[in-house]
Amino acid sequence: MSTMENHLIFERSRAGRSAVAQAPRAHAATAIPANLRRKSAPGLPAASELDVVRHYTRLSQKNFSIDTEFYPLGSCTMKYNPRACNSLAMLPGFLNRHPHAPASHSQGFLHTMFELQEMLKDVTGMKAVSLAPMAGAQGEFTGVAMIRAYHDARGDSERREIIVPDAAHGTNPATAIMCGYEVREIPTDESGDVNLEALKEAVGPQTAGIMLTNPSTVGVFERRISEIAKIVHDAGGLLYYDGANLNAILGKVRPGDMGFDVIHMNLHKTFSTPHGGGGPGSGAVGVGERLLPYMPVPHVIENGEGGYRFATETDYPETIGRLSAFAGNAGVLLRAYVYMRMLGREGMQRVSEFATLNANYLARELESAGFDLAYPERRATHEFIVTLKKQAKELGLTAGDVAKRLLDHGYHAPTTYFPLLVPECLLVEPTETESKETLDGFVEAMAAILEEAGRDIDTIKASPHNLPNRRFNEVAAAKALDVVYQEPRDDEGEPAPRTGTSG
């Protein structure tokens, strides 16, 4: 192994070296006034093209990814991202289109976005769709902001509260606060459904709305959704659908038909756009009749002459406004479009069918291997929860331990410690693109860990062992905060001469 294995790109730098073929020819100095000029160079890396390519290729190899490992991360829908979606979204005509190019030079793009809106309307049962939000959390913000605009427009401004189940994603309560609302949490009952009695007590003239995920974050379908919708609507509130789990029901049941007034979809989950190591996402929103006037701009509409254009504030005077400088994560939207067209009508249903088949199969197999399901009497949806409450008590084996040991077996860990209400939980989502053999291999690894815990818990506690690093001291890292690299300095305060050999 090379001595430079762990080095930063800055440590690979050599003064005077550069990938000069990548830069334009040098120009004469500019006439920028001296007081506005930069005095010293910023300190970006000085490296050759090969240095850079090798460094980042090697770094990539330190990642787990869908393309390299099974990644059953609950709530995140880590399904295969088809390569065609990427290459077709990166056609030069799409990459080079400026966001302010005139509509006359944008019909290919606008037509595609219009069709995407129409397809998303169809699969969600909503009246209109905006593609503007740049991520799920921004979609949530958009939805709740529209709920607020609706109440405000009616002069119904005493509604101050958003109801959120205790199992909800953290973005839900954080979003409600960003929209200027207060949050009221309600409990989940022992079968995983919303506690209806608590809901009835919680609603009132102060209720602006409720934010729900269905299937919920505990991996079961909320069976009394129509009753919930009635309770909230009767109290004058609106229903917000968090589309995190849309993969479970695609083509089977639609949020619009369940009574939701506004929804967001995570295109990077259900419609297989890449997670990219933490983004970009895309959080398209769908609205029902009541919220149409408040939709964010821009979104694509027909221009009345057989073509398309962006709707603006002029078309939507009551809009909640703009969410980004331009029109959202267009490149992500193109990928989602290609994905939907490749799957087609019949493929939409297959997504939820095989995601559900895989989850239920995996749940039963893990149960047989000695693990406890949090809701054994319920159908799993596209995901399910294993609780290690018993193993934690008897063997000292926690959810976090299983997660780390799984990495040694070559599997990415399921989501751990979410939702918060199930102790020592693993939220497992296999997705529809994984084969039976992969699931069987994962069960074998889980069984091996359980067996190992009975005889050698210490090895598990110290895991992972087979990765570039072992467990980190995160507390120390947060205390001695180091978020920006500093060049080593010698005693005179001058940068130390760079030593080391090439990688």
Partner 1 sequence: MPFIPHTEEDIRAMLDRIGADSIEDLFDEIPKELRAPALEKVPEGLNEMAIARLMQERAARDGMASNFIGAGAYEHHIPAAVWQIATRGEFYSAYTPYQAEASQGTLQLIYEYQTMISRLTGMEASNASLYDGASALAEAVLMAVRVNRRSKSKKVLVPGALHPDYRRVIHTLIGNQGIELVEIPFDETSGQTPVEALAPFADDDVTAMIISQPNFFGILEDVDALTGWAEQREIPVIAVVNPVSLALLKPPGEWGSNGVDIVVGEGQPLGAPLSSGGPYFGFMTTRKKHIRQMPGRIVGRAEDADGKPGYVLTLQAREQHIRRSKATSNICTNQGLVVTAATIHMSMLGDEGLTRVAEACYANTHALVEKLAAKGIKPRFTGEYFHEVALDFGGDAASRVQAMADAGVLAGYELSRDYAQLDGCVLACATETKTDADLEQYVTTCEQAKAA
State the minimum distance, in angstroms, from the CB of residue 195 to partner 1.
18
* Opening angle at CA 408, ends 404 and 414, nearest 5: 45
Per CB under 8 A, contacts with partner 1 among 402-421 are: 403-404, 407, 412-413, 418
Distances (CA, A) of 85 to 271, 331, 337, 340: 10, 10, 8, 10
Number of residues that bind partner 1 (CB under 8 A): 193
State the minimum distance, in angstroms, from the CB of residue 481 to partner 1.
6
Q: Label residues 253-269 b or e (16+ Cβ within 10 Å = b).
A: bbbbebbbbbbbbbbbb
Q: Residue 196 and residue 190: Cα distance in Å, rounded?
A: 12
Report the residue number, 390 or 400, with the smaller CB distance to partner 1.
Answer: 400
- Inter-residue contact 332 to 283 (CB < 8 Å): no
Report the residue number, 170 or 390, with the smaller CB distance to partner 1.
Answer: 170
Count of C-beta atoms within a 10 Å radius of residue 204? 13
Sole binder of partner 1 in the list 1, 27, 317, 455 (CB under 8 A): 27
Per CB under 8 A, contacts with partner 1 among 34-53 are: 35-39, 41-47, 49, 52-53
Sole binder of partner 1 in the list 151, 159, 299, 378 (CB under 8 A): 378
Q: Residue 361 and residue 439: Cα distance in Å, rounded?
A: 9
The structure tokens 């294995």 sit at 5
State the minimum distance, in angstroms, from the CB of residue 390 to partner 1.
23
Sole binder of partner 1 in the list 203, 239, 343, 426 (CB under 8 A): 343
Candidate segments 195-203, 385-393, 445-453, 467-475, binder of partner 1 by CB under 8 A: 467-475
Structure tokens given for 215:
């299937």
Sole binder of partner 1 in the list 196, 200, 318, 326 (CB under 8 A): 326
State the minimum distance, in angstroms, from the CB of residue 74 to partner 1.
11
Q: Which of 456, 471, 269, 234 is nearest to 351 (CA)?
A: 269
Count of C-beta atoms within a 10 Å radius of residue 311? 17
Report the residue number, 224 or 454, with the smaller CB distance to partner 1.
Answer: 224
The structure tokens 């849309």 sit at 246
Can residue 94 be called a binding residue for partner 1 (CB under 8 A)? yes
Report helix, strand or coil for 256.
helix
Q: Which of 413, 409, 404 is nearest to 386 (CA)?
A: 413
Sole binder of partner 1 in the list 70, 72, 74, 112 (CB under 8 A): 112
Q: Which of 271, 261, 426 is nearest to 338 (CA)?
A: 271
Can residue 62 be called a binding residue for partner 1 (CB under 8 A)? yes
Report the residue number, 379 or 390, with the smaller CB distance to partner 1.
Answer: 379
Q: Residue 350 and residue 119: Cα distance in Å, rounded?
A: 16
Can residue 317 be called a binding residue for partner 1 (CB under 8 A)? no
Question: What does the CA dihedral 481, 484, 485, 491 come to, rounded to 10 degrees?
Answer: -70
Per CB under 8 A, contacts with partner 1 among 215-274 are: 220-221, 223, 225-226, 249, 251-254, 257-258, 274
Candidate segments 20-28, 235-243, 286-294, 390-398, binder of partner 1 by CB under 8 A: 20-28
State the minimum distance, in angstroms, from the CB of residue 304 to partner 1.
18
Sole binder of partner 1 in the list 208, 330, 422, 425 (CB under 8 A): 330
Per CB under 8 A, contacts with partner 1 among 433-462 are: 433-436, 462
Sole binder of partner 1 in the list 153, 160, 209, 342 (CB under 8 A): 342
Candidate segments 59-67, 383-391, 447-455, 494-502, binder of partner 1 by CB under 8 A: 59-67
Report helix, strand or coil for 300.
strand
Can residue 496 be called a binding residue for partner 1 (CB under 8 A)? no
Per CB under 8 A, contacts with partner 1 among 145-204 are: 145, 148, 169-171, 173-180, 183
Structure tokens given for 99:
């966001």
Distances (CA, A) of 74 to 8, 22, 240, 244: 32, 42, 21, 10
Sole binder of partner 1 in the list 1, 25, 491, 493 (CB under 8 A): 25
State the minimum distance, in angstroms, from the CB of residue 251 to partner 1.
6
Q: Which of 159, 140, 143, 139 is nearest to 151 (CA)?
A: 159
Report the residue number, 198 or 405, with the smaller CB distance to partner 1.
Answer: 405
Per CB under 8 A, contacts with partner 1 among 283-302 are: 296
| Exposed/middle/buried for residue 441 (C-beta within 10 Å: 0-12, 13-18, 19+) | middle
User: Could you tell me how far CA 141 lies from the centroid of its own chain?
Assistant: 15
Structure tokens given for 272:
């297989």
Q: Which helix (H) or strand (E) holds 116?
A: helix 107-124
Candidate segments 96-104, 199-207, 231-239, 449-457, binder of partner 1 by CB under 8 A: 96-104
Report the residue number, 191 or 205, with the smaller CB distance to partner 1.
Answer: 191
Q: Which amino acid is it at 22?
A: Q
Report the residue number, 136 or 236, with the smaller CB distance to partner 1.
Answer: 136
For 158, list phi and psi in degrees, rounded to 5. -80, -5
Cα Dmax for the chain = 75
Sole binder of partner 1 in the list 102, 155, 304, 497 (CB under 8 A): 102
Report the residue number, 477 or 496, with the smaller CB distance to partner 1.
Answer: 477
Sole binder of partner 1 in the list 325, 490, 493, 501 (CB under 8 A): 325
State the minimum distance, in angstroms, from the CB of residue 448 to partner 1.
18
